[in-house]
Amino acid sequence: MSSGIAIVGMACRYPGARTPAELWENVLARRRAFRRMPPERLRLEDYPDSGPDGLYSTEAAVLEDWEFDRVRFKVAGGTFRTADLAHWLALDVASQALAEAGFADAEGLPRDAFGVLLGNSLTGEFSRANLMRQRWPYVRRVLASSLKSEGWEEGRIAGFLAGLEAEYKAPFPPTSEESLAGGLSNTIAGRICNHFDLHGGGFTVDGACASSLLAVAQACSALAAGDLDVALAGGVDLSLDPFELVGFARTGALTRGEMRVYDARSSGFIPGEGCGFVLLVREEDAARLGCRVHAVLRGWGISSDGSGGISRPEAEGQKLALRRAYRRAGFGIGSVGYFEGHGTGTAVGDATELRALSEALREAGAEGVRPVGSVKALFGHTKAAAGVAGLLKATLALGHQVLPPNAGCDEPHPELAREGSPLRVLEQGEAWPADRPLRAAASAMGFGGINVHVVLEGAAATRRRSLAPRERALLASAQDAELILLAGDDLETRVERLLETAPRISRSELTDLAAALHERLVPGAHRRAAIVASTPKELAERLELLLGWLKDGVESRIDPKHGLFLGTGSQPRRIGFLFPGQGSPSHLAGGALRRRFEDLAGLYEIAGLSPDADPVDTAIAQPAILTHSLAGLAVLDRLGIRAAVAAGHSLGEIAALAWAGVYPEETAVHLAAARGRAMADLPSPTGAMASLGASPEAVEVLLAGTAVVIAGLNSPKRTVVSGPAVEIDMVAARAADLGYEVHRLRVSHAFHSPLVANAAPA
């Protein structure tokens, strides 16, 4: 194995991640930084989807609370205001990378052989906006012509335009001797060299969305060849403006909804922004300089797709980059334990990348399955700064010896789901397997058909055996929804104030908001409200509904469909538990409860159910539902929520008896399993069930002439029926013709009907 390139310094600024340490915690906790595009950055109403220049995507991941300390960096006010903010963000993060490595202001490093390679494509949106100042003559001519055609006199036109010119130009800095340099991409790298007095060469690399990883690969080549002794490599991207966003929208690359990565429903990305840098030296020089080594770059490969599409990736081109990287590394792709992919979340991009990696692993005869993920699932596609973000995540995974989970993948891509796939997506992080080398890889691809792949090796002298408590807590913290609690006699005012905040927060900040509001609850308040919400948008919509209730004078109401509760009274209410029967979600592996509360694993092990089992099979569903009820009961007890009374419907009767202490948990699970087997062993026909949105009196009319019976009265206007499958279809059709809501239940038998009576003896 040849000598590698050591990563001795790291720094970043991405949405929700001010440092690599915060980035890593966000990875473990799956904190997603997506929010509605702030109007300060782009007014969405100016770009309606209906027009040719429209924008259908509404979310972005944006930096917040970042300020450039121009006094510290000795930057004059005029220079600061003239240059694009991408210059200052890159300079700031580059400085942090040097300091993190122990070389603040580059002191102690050979400046003559110190180069800066920066990935960037379009400088930043601020340069493009400032160009509007120079376009005033064109705007003036168009307006003058239009006003003249409307009958305005020359003098009136001149006066109007003279006043408009000042207003038009006001947002943009006056053109100065700094304007040209401050608006160029290459001078970002030059500015870093200028500030730290570096003489090895500073330039910008443009490989579109592969730019920053391409800069890293080029820096490695320069170091290996002896052209440089030290290199700062990374990328910066601040380009959330119409040029990029409308352009991506026209190609269909942006998602209209959720950003899913390596998912069967991947439909595009949410745009992001940020900056990241790594400080690189040769491995032997790192030892001589006394540097802490985060990881070692062993191989890097670059390729193009050739005659493939300009904006459509090709698997063969990516495989060429892979082969070049592992040839340089001196070991095979099969020894890599984790792949940090490009992962844009587009249907074509995800499929192509997964196919290329899978084929390369199969061709190498790699055994076992290794995880693949993408940091884009947390803060979107940061374009020119995306590749280095993935490199940082892979480096951190090696340093902590943890296989990281991946957000945004609920239904793994067909390429991952097929039998014998060498790749998987981790929903939950894991300790790095002791029998697998500390090796990871990162990929990037960009418009023009360019591909980059880099291979890393961990620098740890010893191997960890387990996850730390902090890591386990972070890994268990991800939730599908948050509970927003409000209390106080000024409830309407609180809701109105929250409505101003909710539309602007990110998804991860929804969690922070829920925690903060819980801490600020007013003890003993007469008026109380609770909202369950999965996104800031959903929270805002439900706050609007709650506010409507309050303005209408509603005192108490529960709306389960919209996750809303409003109540009064300072005294605690009596609590009752209702345990569900079959037809409820089975959650064979435990779902979110088991992920959040690892001590529930033992309960699920009692049931001994395979995650691949058929959740509709009654022999599987009954012990699974019963186990999940007991798990929910355990969590409620931990939270101090205890009932005075409990009831169970059907299968739920066993859970209620367990709550009452009649059965221990293990006996209850075994009883449910025996009950399920008894019903599963019934001969055909097994029948079917349906839920009808009608009163029992109305349903009785629908059942005339059939063997279908009413199996349950769920509410005054919700009736469950059970019987032979053909006749259930007949009743369902009658109900639908009369406008009643109809739902077929996902059950294997006609429970609570004569068709299951023969199970009673067993």
Q: Which of 57, 587, 752, 753 is catalytic?
A: 752
Indicate the pairing of strand 557-559 with strand 482-487: unpaired
**Pair 192, 118: CB distance under 8 Å:** yes
Triad 421, 426, 432: Cα angle to 5°: 95
Is residue 650 part of the annotated active site? The answer reads: yes
Q: Where are the beta strands (DSSP E) in 242-391?
A: 274-282, 295-304, 338-340, 370-373
Q: Residue 56, class by beta-carbon neighbours within 10 Å (0-12 exposed, 13-18 middle, 19+ buried)?
A: middle
Distance of CA 495 to the CA centre of its chain: 28
Tell me which residue of 132, 114, 136 sits closest to 196, measured CA to CA: 114
Element (H, E) at 155: helix 154-169
Q: Which two tokens stand for residue 26?
A: 């966000």
Half-sphere exposure of 453 (CA within 13 A, CB side): 27
Is residue 145 part of the annotated active site? The answer reads: no
Indicate the pairing of strand 274-282 with strand 295-304: unpaired
Q: Which of 95, 508, 629, 650 is catalytic?
A: 650
Residue 385 to residue 655: CA distance in whole angstroms: 52
**Pair 609, 625: CB distance under 8 Å:** no
**Pair 236, 385: CB distance under 8 Å:** yes
Residues pairing with 529 in the sheet: 486, 566
Q: Which two tokens stand for residue 279?
A: 């400080």
- What is residue 574's DSSP assignment? P
Residue 147 to residue 141: CA distance in whole angstroms: 10
- What is residue 404's DSSP assignment? -
DSSP per position, 39-80: TTT--GGGS-TTSTT-----EEB---S----TTTTT--HHHH
Residue 212 to residue 193: CA distance in whole angstroms: 17
**Pair 273, 93: CB distance under 8 Å:** no
Q: Where are the beta strands (DSSP E) in 471-543?
A: 482-487, 527-533
Task: Return the active site residues.
Answer: 650, 752
